[in-house]
């Protein structure tokens, strides 16, 4: 297994509509293994292929609790979403250091294929439902900041740019840069 480079905001691959997976082969399974590894190192709970520079419709998730075992989902589609919505804090490994409240349906049912090519259906609520929707957004080139009002988004981007500038300055001083999820 090897750690993959996580693409940050500004990379075109994050704004691209990812392609359907046409073949579930060893290459794809290796990608999935490396995505899990990369996600664990970055201390995230979900990671979509475009975030590691691969424009394919696949993501991995692990909430690290007993109720929700980890899974990879290939060519996922949301088959239903509940009417109730909630706002909760969301961040993204591709926009490190910032987070915001994002409004999303509380429950969803999603279907796709697992890494063996078997159908996989996930009925999710709470954090898992949020995580899946966030990762599926990535497959369509959508980021959590796109769900914010223009004002909130510009405030968040201002903060993000300040953090980036601080990181760049820290790197020049050869001191460890800020790292976050």
Binding site for Zn ion (CB under 5 A): 92
**Which residue, 8 or 122, is less far from Zn ion as judged by CB?**
8
Q: Among positive and negative, which fits the CA dihedral 35, 37, 39, 42? A: negative
Q: How far is the CB of 16 from Zn ion (least distance, A)?
A: 14
CA 71/CA 51 separation, integer angstroms: 17
135 is catalytic: yes
* H/E element, 17: none
Alpha-carbon separation of residue 106 from 26, 56, 132, 144 (angstroms): 35, 26, 11, 16
Given the residues 27, 90, 135, 173, the one annotated as active site: 135
**CB of residue 63 vs Zn ion: minimum separation in angstroms?**
15
Nearer Cβ to Zn ion, position 39 or 92?
92
Closer of 9 and 113 to Zn ion (Cβ) = 9
Residue facing Zn ion at closest CB distance? 92
CB of 90 to Zn ion, least distance (A): 8
**For 161-169, which contacts have Cβ atoms below 8 Å and span 24 or more sequence positions?**
163/96, 163/97, 163/98
Question: Helix, strand, or coil here: 181?
Answer: coil
The residue (of 60 and 74) whose beta carbon lies closer to Zn ion is: 60
The arrangement of strands across the sheet holding 71-81 comes to 46-48, 58-61, 71-81, 107-113, 119-125
Backbone angles phi, psi at 72, to 5 degrees: -115, 140
Q: How far is the CB of 39 from Zn ion (least distance, A)?
A: 11
Structure tokens at 170: 């820290």
Please give the positions annotated as active site: 135
């Amino acid at each position: 297994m090897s750690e993959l480079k996580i693409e940050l905001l500004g990379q075109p691959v994050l704004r691209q509509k990812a392609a359907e997976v046409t073949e579930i082969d060893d290459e794809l399974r290796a990608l999935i293994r490396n995505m899990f590894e990369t996600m664990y190192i970055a201390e995230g709970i979900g990671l979509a292929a475009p975030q590691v520079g691969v424009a394919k419709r696949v993501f991995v998730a692990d909430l690290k609790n007993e109720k929700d075992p980890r899974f990879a989902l290939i060519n996922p589609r949301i088959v239903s979403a509940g009417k109730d919505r909630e706002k909760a804090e969301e961040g993204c490994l591709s926009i490190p250091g910032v987070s915001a409240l994002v409004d999303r349906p509380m429950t969803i049912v999603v279907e796709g294929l697992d890494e063996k090519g078997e159908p996989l259906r996930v009925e999710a609520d709470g954090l898992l439902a949020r995580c899946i929707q966030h990762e599926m957004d990535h497959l369509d080139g959508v980021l959590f900041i796109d769900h914010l009002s223009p004002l909130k988004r510009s405030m968040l981007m201002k903060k993000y740019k300040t953090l980036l500038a601080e990181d760049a300055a820290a790197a020049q001083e050869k001191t460890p840069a800020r790292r976050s999820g």
